[in-house]
């Protein structure tokens, strides 16, 4: 009755899933709808920045050679022959000891090679004409922002797959991207299973709990950058539910189920995979929580059978589903960023399995410290709320002590990394068959 | 002609702005639309978790006293008298040496006080009846998740103003929040000024640049958690533009303008504040970039006059506007999280003003390292793209060296802090009048 499953290592499981991870499609969205999405093409400068030599300040443009003798004891007088507002161009000539009033961002007149700020000159009038006095020597190029000194034309300023932050938005605007090519958000279907599940608006009943996983996973899908499509709860009747899975799969790029993957009698996901002739990539992973996470592929489409246990469901999504989504979004860094942190609590009990403990990362005097959030029980919903990392504790024969260095996976980081690095710690881990 | 302005210190400027920062309103949104928003009320547990004593595993529920003699050399036999699927309740009695098959999450029968996992027993049949053999002693409570061990009824699990992450979503679902009270997103109006500005879809022209600030700030507004409303570019004609500001102010909670706040002749924001009889809180701050940032208040509503310079605009928003938005979203932590990092580059030149340098935070062996992104010129758009921190360099008579400890403000962090802490570094800073 109890099916014996052979657990595989976490990294092996990730590798098997990633073989099915392929880039998605590009479409265009208006610039002001693009924040938070992922660039579908590299961002290219269509012109140099600055596009012309310009003034970084409000001031006066002059020829620097005319200031050669200027000093605090020897003010040199310039006639102000015109002015240039930002956006306009001075079309006259500027001669010896002549100056042009210039506003921030305006183009430097051809004859000039330096700018002096308003605050540094004395202005006066004589015979109704404006003049300034300069009391220090300027060098050629002083207070000029030169063409292309920031960015050259044709330069790729952000790669395909970069998440669009406010700085990228500024670049997109600067280089004329009224419409932005972004990765189309993958549609990720979600089906909840479990006869113990109540809907969120139902009153609590003996023996039953409200369905939290489906909503939690929807939020995780959004955080990963995809679009959740919730199909509701499974039927308790096998044929109906098989039909539901088939219909859902036609509508989405990835299908997630929560619950129904244990070896219990009521868990019929395994039978559904079989009826679909789906290829089961694995159905047991040497990790805690989430050991029953099952992933299957059907016609190149992935079905993630996440555990019905909230923490196991959470971890299963972050380790296995998120990198697939990020790959579809063109990210060259589909995995969670992994950093080294000091462990903030003891884990005295050795565990043969690799553990992913929900934790809270804090900074203490510039060092990263990771502390488990709440009790480390896989059914503790509340500990998920404050978790911003998963603390990686490779399985082995020894426990872990406060103060030891451990790896943490950053849950709120948007940048990611190119590798599921934590295999480096697996030398000392063991998984039990 | 040149108005002399008296700069105030950054923290004094923030304090003046924060006097006008008031909490916003609450409204309800469906649970599946609430991710990323801010809780408008504390999240309260409407029942204990677990709501009943339940099994964390698939297994058999028994009376522990019956296992007293069990050992690997002395298997004890139990009759399996029924089974409980998750969500159903066992309504019979369980007597001596009887067991009930129980699924993960199901309620423990009243007579039982321990669970043993499937994998730990031997199952067999005799005379058509199911039996199990147990080879080890169980203690009362073994493998039982007890009522309320995670969460007690009435407990506040997340405070008002907490951003909704996937873990919070799980809690909201668990406790019946089909509709979630969230802080209404403040409407933040944006008006761009500057006769040098081209629209994003216009070709580049001599002397002109495309309007990037308005779009950048829209993304910053979204990142801060508010709703941007872009009103387009100002008229060049004073009366029209005054009218535009008045109309915009009626529609939004906060109004931002970009550009037009310098002391240049074309910068008529100061005249607009005067015509509105708005109270100018400050119009010069002892900081770089962003020294011309101007904030005014009219009938309790804030008008942020951000610089037309991209970096100054960016910094002005993050330092002054963001904490106001976060306060409206009820966050008790409206300021950017500030951490200590090791400086990754030299800043040899002393500067009398507090500087906020766009930087990139990386982790090296568990330590934070902050390196300036791109050249530190205030007009360098591209350096904004990869910035994830502002490096705080208090003004003073000395420069900064690689390896020194500095404060950094985390730009992508959603958590925040309760204080604009960087005043602690201001002892050694000086601002020039």
* A249 falls within a domain: yes
Q: Which residue of B has its CA nearest to A343?
A: B366
* B147 falls within a domain: no
* A433 falls within a domain: no
For residue B214, give the H/E element and its range: helix B213-224
Instruction: Give the CATH number for residue B356.
Output: 2.40.340.10
Pair of tokens at residue B381: 């758009």
Pair of tokens at residue A294: 């099952």
CB contact under 8 A, A169 and B219: yes
**What integer pLDDT is reported at residue B153 of this predicted model?**
92
A130 and A224 inside one domain: no
The string of DSSP letters for B315-371 reads HHIIIIIHHHHHHHTT-S--BPPEEEEEE-S-B-S--SSEEEEEEEEEEETTEEEEE
Cα-based distances in Å from B285 to A126, A361, B13, B294: 35, 34, 7, 8
B167 and B311 inside one domain: no
* B333 falls within a domain: no
CB contact under 8 A, A223 and B167: no
* A333 falls within a domain: no
A260 and A393 inside one domain: no
Instruction: Give the CATH number for residue A130.
Output: 2.170.190.11
Of residues A2 and A214, the one with the higher pLDDT is A214
Q: Give chain A positions within 8 Å (CB) of B150.
A: 374-375, 377, 379-382
Interface of B with A in 108-127 (CB under 8 A): 118-119, 123
B264 and B122 inside one domain: no
* A145 falls within a domain: no
A263, A297, A328 — which closes off a domain?
Answer: A328
Cα-based distances in Å from B217 to A38, A50, A167, B196, B307: 18, 20, 9, 18, 11
Q: Give chain B positions within 8 Å (CB) of A170.
A: 212-213, 215-216, 310, 314, 381, 384-385
B188 and B169 inside one domain: no
Question: What digits encode the pLDDT tens for the residues A93-120?
Answer: 999 999 999 988 889 999 999 999 999 9
Least confident stretch, B292-301, B372-381, B416-425? B372-381
Buried b (16+ CB within 10 A) or exposed e, A69-88: ebeeeeebebebbbbbbbbb
Q: How many CB pairs under 8 A join A and B?
A: 327
A351 and A302 inside one domain: no
Report ipTM (2 d.p.).
Answer: 0.88
SS3 B432: coil
CB contact under 8 A, B200 and A178: yes
pLDDT at A33 over 90: yes
**What integer pLDDT is reported at residue A386 of this predicted model?**
86
B265 in contact with A at a CB cutoff of 8 Å?
yes
A58 CA to chain B: closest CA distance, Å? 6
B13 CA to chain A: closest CA distance, Å? 23
**What integer pLDDT is reported at residue A432 of this predicted model?**
33
pLDDT at B377 over 50: no
A289 and A363 inside one domain: no
Q: Give chain A positions within 8 Å (CB) of B106.
A: 196, 207
Q: Is the peptide bond before A50 cis (omega within 30 degrees of 0)?
A: yes
**What integer pLDDT is reported at residue A336 of this predicted model?**
94
Reported in sequence order, the residue ranges of B185-277 that DSSP labels E, i.e. its strands, are 187-192, 197-198, 209-210, 227-233, 254-258
A306, A328, A350 — which closes off a domain?
Answer: A328
pLDDT at B324 over 70: yes
B263 in contact with A at a CB cutoff of 8 Å?
yes
CB contact under 8 A, B381 and A171: yes
* B143 falls within a domain: no
B200 and B295 inside one domain: yes
The whole-number average pLDDT for the span B366-381 is 71
CB contact under 8 A, B176 and A211: no
A175 in contact with B at a CB cutoff of 8 Å?
yes
Of the candidates A175, A178, A195, the beta carbon closest to that of B85 is on A195
* B139 falls within a domain: no
At residue A88, φ and ψ (nearest 5 deg) are: -110, 165
Of the candidates A196, A206, A385, the beta carbon closest to that of B105 is on A196
Report strand pairing: B405-410 vs B389-393. antiparallel
A303 and A237 inside one domain: yes
A216 and A349 inside one domain: no
Q: Give chain A positions within 8 Å (CB) of B168.
A: 385
User: Number of folded domains in chain A?
Assistant: 4
Instruction: Give the CATH number for residue B168.
Output: 3.90.105.10
**Interface test with chain A among B369, B382, B405, by most A beta carbons within 10 Å:** B382
CB contact under 8 A, A385 and B157: yes
Q: Give chain A positions within 8 Å (CB) of B417.
A: none
Q: Which residue of A has its CA nearest to B123?
A: A1
Reported in sequence order, the residue ranges of B129-178 that DSSP labels E, i.e. its strands, are 129-134, 156-158
Q: Which domain holds residue B299?
A: 10-25+184-328
Report strand pairing: B294-298 vs B279-282. antiparallel
B394 and B362 inside one domain: yes
CB contact under 8 A, B215 and A31: yes
Q: Give chain A positions within 8 Å (CB) of B197.
A: 87
Classify residue A348 by burial, with Cβ atoms within 10 Å: 0-12, 13-18, 19+: exposed
pLDDT band at A428 (very low <50, low <70, confident <90, very high): very low
pLDDT at A377 over 70: no
B433 in contact with A at a CB cutoff of 8 Å?
no
Instruction: Give the CATH number for residue A225.
Output: 3.40.980.10
Question: What digits encode the pLDDT tens for the residues B231-279?
Answer: 998 877 889 889 999 999 999 999 999 988 766 556 788 999 999 999 9
Question: What digits encode the pLDDT tens for the residues B148-192?
Answer: 888 889 989 899 999 999 999 999 999 999 999 999 999 999 999
Q: Which residue of B has its CA nearest to A342?
A: B366
A134, A165, A198 — which closes off a domain?
Answer: A134
A85 in contact with B at a CB cutoff of 8 Å?
yes
CB contact under 8 A, A166 and B310: no
The rounded mean pLDDT for chain B is 90
pLDDT at B432 over 50: no
Q: Give chain A positions within 8 Å (CB) of B154.
A: none
A244 and A264 inside one domain: yes
CB contact under 8 A, A381 and B118: no
The size of chain B, in residues, is 433
Q: What is the CA radius of gyration of chain B?
A: 31
């Amino acid at each position: 009755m109890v099916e014996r499953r052979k657990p595989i290592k976490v990294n092996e499981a990730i590798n098997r899933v990633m073989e099915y991870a392929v880039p998605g499609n590009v479409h265009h969205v208006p610039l002001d709808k693009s924040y938070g999405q992922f660039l579908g093409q590299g961002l290219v400068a269509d012109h140099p920045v600055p596009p012309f030599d310009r003034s970084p300040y409000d001031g006066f443009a002059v020829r620097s050679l005319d200031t050669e003798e200027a000093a605090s004891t020897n003010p040199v007088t310039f006639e102000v022959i015109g002015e240039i507002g930002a956006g306009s161009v001075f079309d006259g000539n500027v001669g010896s000891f002549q100056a042009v009033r210039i506003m921030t961002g305006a183009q430097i007149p051809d004859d000039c090679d330096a700018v002096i700020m308003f605050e540094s000159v004395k202005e006066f009038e004589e015979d109704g004409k404006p003049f300034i006095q300069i009391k220090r020597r300027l060098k050629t190029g002083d207070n000029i922002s030169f063409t292309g000194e920031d960015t050259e034309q044709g330069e790729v300023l952000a790669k395909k797959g970069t998440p669009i932050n406010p700085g990228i938005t500024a670049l997109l605007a600067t280089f004329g991207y009224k419409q932005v090519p972004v990765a189309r958000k993958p549609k990720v279907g979600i089906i909840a299973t479990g006869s113990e599940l109540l809907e969120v608006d139902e009153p609590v009943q003996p023996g039953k709990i409200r369905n939290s996983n489906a909503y939690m996973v929807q939020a995780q899908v959004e955080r990963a950058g995809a679009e959740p499509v919730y199909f509701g709860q499974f039927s308790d009747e096998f044929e109906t539910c098989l039909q539901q899975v088939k219909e859902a799969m036609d509508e989405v790029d990835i299908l997630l189920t929560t619950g129904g993957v244990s070896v219990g009698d009521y868990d019929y996901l395994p039978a559904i995979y079989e009826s679909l002739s789906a290829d089961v990539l694995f159905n047991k992973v040497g990790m805690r929580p989430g050991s029953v996470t099952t992933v299957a592929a059907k016609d190149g489409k992935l079905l993630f059978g996440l555990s019905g246990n909230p923490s196991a469901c959470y971890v299963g999504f972050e380790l296995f589903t998120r990198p697939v989504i990020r790959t579809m979004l063109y990210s060259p860094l589909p995995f969670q960023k992994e950093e080294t942190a000091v462990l903030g609590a003891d884990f005295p009990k050795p565990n043969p399995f690799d553990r992913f403990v929900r934790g809270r990362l804090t900074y203490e005097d510039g060092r990263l410290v990771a502390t488990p959030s709440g009790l480390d029980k896989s059914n503790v919903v509340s500990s998920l709320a404050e978790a911003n990392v998963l603390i990686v504790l490779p399985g082995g024969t020894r426990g872990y002590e406060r103060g030891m260095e451990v790896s943490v996976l950053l849950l709120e980081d948007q940048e990611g990394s190119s590798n599921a690095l934590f295999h480096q710690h697996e030398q000392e881990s063991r998984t039990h068959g």
